[in-house]
């Protein structure tokens, strides 16, 4: 009997035939084998933070909520293996207990580790790549229901596809990742005028480990956030007023705990185009959308990588994201700003609102066909392809 499922913001709702929560890899593999035999589509859901139809399926939706926790770690080698259903918050706590930490986090930490890899979750920092960039090992169930294991040193093509995989290569059950020794960050938040921020933006991004800013459309002020290893980074910002100054373990001070839910559009832009694009977005918002939109426009930086479907593939990147409170209309706002992002060569975040189709997307990723080849190798009959992904990739057996 169909059951109802809704994403975190409530903007995506559908009725799969069933929602399953396997307790073991073998139980999951058997589920996939049966689905493949019957020609049914299996999709995996994490915390439901994404709002594109990546997880939407008329057949079987799988939750990995029972496959959680820190599986193993090597303190000397600074690697850890984490089960795929573990949230980032849970992973941070478990890693801290053994003296390890990930290199970066995004703005929130309730996504699952598998979801982070599925959509290319990122934080901010000019020298810091997306979170899945540190992926070195994967165990998964492929499209035929076989449990397989991959190591980066043995199959680099697979890992360039796996680091942003859209859940199209298989169902990841555990992930091995490079770690850092546990570290603390000093988080400071500053308030200043938007023009003062933009005038000093290069300095801010270069001097600080993590730096971003967000602008509220009904004000000409921005909030700048800097996070640094204590004793490093900008000593002071003479053009801004410090309104928060805290120091703690990375996983405690970098993400924010938010009750307010929202819908979001985010685009990845060439770093050199970021400031000009932001100015045009700001002008359009002020001219057209200020009456209806009150929440923030967020500006972050991401280092280049080689993941086939990463928004930062082959180029240093800035991201600009629009937000609208959940339940309020967002289509007119997002659709009006999206052409500005596209004008500057923007790539949409896979888990956030956008209107691009297959013909648009394939032009944005130089390794599009390489990803498709890896996908077909692991799921030739398209067990993990829902209608949305079939439209994007145009294949599936």
Strand 79-83 and strand 13-14: the pairing is: unpaired
> In whole angstroms, how far apart are CA 371 and each of 163, 168, 307?
11, 10, 9
Q: Tell me the domain boundaries of the chain.
A: 70-181, 185-348
**Could you write out the DSSP letters of every residue in 153-202?**
TT-HHHHHHHTT-TT-S-EEEEEEEE-EE--EEEEEEEEEEHHHHHHTHH
- Residues 186-197 have a mean pLDDT of 98
CATH architecture assigned to 185-348: 2-Layer Sandwich (3.30)
Q: What is the pLDDT of residue 172?
A: 98
Q: What are the pLDDT digits (tens) for 112-168?
A: 999 999 999 999 999 999 999 999 999 999 999 999 999 999 999 999 999 999 999
- Under a CB-based contact definition with an 8 Å cutoff, are residues 94 and 69 in contact? yes
Pairing type for strands 221-228 and 210-215 reads antiparallel
Give dist(CA 218, CA 195) in Å, integer.
15
Q: How many CB atoms lie within 10 A of CB 300?
A: 27
Is the pLDDT score of 83 beyond 80? Answer: yes
Question: What is the average per-residue pLDDT within 182-190?
Answer: 98
Right CATH for 70-181 from 3.40.309.10, 3.30.465.10, 3.30.460.30, 1.20.120.10: 3.30.465.10
* DSSP assignment letter at 285: I
E strands along the chain, which residues? 5-6, 13-14, 18-20, 42-45, 60-63, 70-74, 79-83, 100-101, 135-141, 147-151, 171-178, 180-181, 184-193, 210-215, 221-228, 241-249, 262-270, 297-302, 317-325, 347-348
CA distance 65 to 315: 35
- Report whether 380 contacts 359 (CB < 8 A): no
Parallel, antiparallel, or unpaired for β 60-63 and 13-14? Answer: unpaired
Cβ-proximal residues to 243 (8 Å cutoff; 6+ apart), any chain: 189, 190, 191, 223
Sheet order of strands, 60-63 included: 18-20, 60-63, 42-45
* pLDDT tens-place string over residues 195-254: 999 999 999 999 999 999 999 999 999 999 999 999 999 999 999 999 999 999 999 999
Provide the token pair at 92.
Answer: 């941070």
Q: Is the pTM of this model over 0.85?
A: yes
- pLDDT, position 29: 98
Largest CA distance in the chain: 65
| Of 2, 67, 57, the residue nearest 29 (C-alpha) | 67
pLDDT at 111: 94
CA-CA-CA-CA torsion sign (232, 236, 239, 241): positive
Distance CA 268, CA 290 (A): 23
């Amino acid at each position: 009997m169909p059951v109802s499922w809704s994403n975190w913001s409530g903007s995506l709702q559908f009725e799969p035939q069933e929602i399953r929560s396997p307790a073991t890899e073998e139980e999951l593999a058997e589920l996939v084998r049966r689905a493949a035999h019957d020609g049914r589509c299996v999709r995996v859901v994490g915390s439901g933070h994404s709002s594109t139809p990546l997880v939407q399926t008329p057949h079987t939706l799988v939750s990995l909520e029972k496959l959680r926790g820190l599986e193993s770690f090597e303190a000397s080698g600074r690697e850890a293996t984490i089960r795929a259903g573990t949230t980032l918050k849970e992973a941070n706590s478990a890693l801290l207990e053994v003296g390890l930490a990930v290199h970066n986090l995004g703005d929130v930490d309730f996504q699952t580790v598998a979801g982070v890899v599925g959509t290319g979750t990122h934080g901010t920092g000019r020298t810091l790549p997306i979170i899945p960039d540190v992926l070195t090992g994967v165990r998964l169930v492929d499209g035929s229901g076989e449990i397989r294991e991959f190591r980066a040193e043995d199959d680099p093509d697979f890992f360039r596809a796996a680091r942003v995989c859209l859940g199209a290569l298989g169902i990841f059950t555990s992930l091995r990742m490079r770690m850092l020794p546990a570290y603390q960050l000093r988080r400071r938040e500053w308030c200043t005028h938007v023009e003062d921020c933009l005038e000093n933006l290069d300095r801010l991004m270069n001097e600080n480990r993590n730096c971003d800013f967000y602008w509220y459309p009904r004000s000409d002020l921005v909030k700048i956030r800097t996070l640094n290893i204590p004793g490093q980074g900008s000593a002071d910002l003479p053009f801004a007023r410090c309104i928060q100054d805290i120091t703690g373990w990375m996983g405690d001070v970098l993400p924010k705990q938010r009750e307010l839910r929202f819908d979001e559009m985010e685009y990845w832009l060439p770093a050199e185009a970021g400031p000009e694009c932001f100015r045009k977005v700001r002008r359009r918002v002020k001219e057209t959308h200020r009456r209806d939109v009150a929440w923030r426009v967020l500006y972050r930086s991401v280092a280049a990588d080689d993941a086939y479907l990463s928004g930062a593939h082959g180029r240093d990147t800035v991201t600009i994201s629009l937000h609208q409170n959940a339940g309020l209309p967002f289509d007119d706002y997002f659709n009006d700003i999206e052409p500005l992002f596209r004008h500057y060569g923007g790539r949409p975040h896979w888990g956030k609102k956008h209107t691009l189709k297959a013909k648009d997307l394939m032009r944005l990723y130089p390794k599009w066909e390489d990803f498709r080849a890896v996908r077909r190798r692991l799921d030739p009959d398209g067990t993990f392809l829902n209608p949305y992904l079939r439209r994007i990739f145009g294949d599936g057996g």
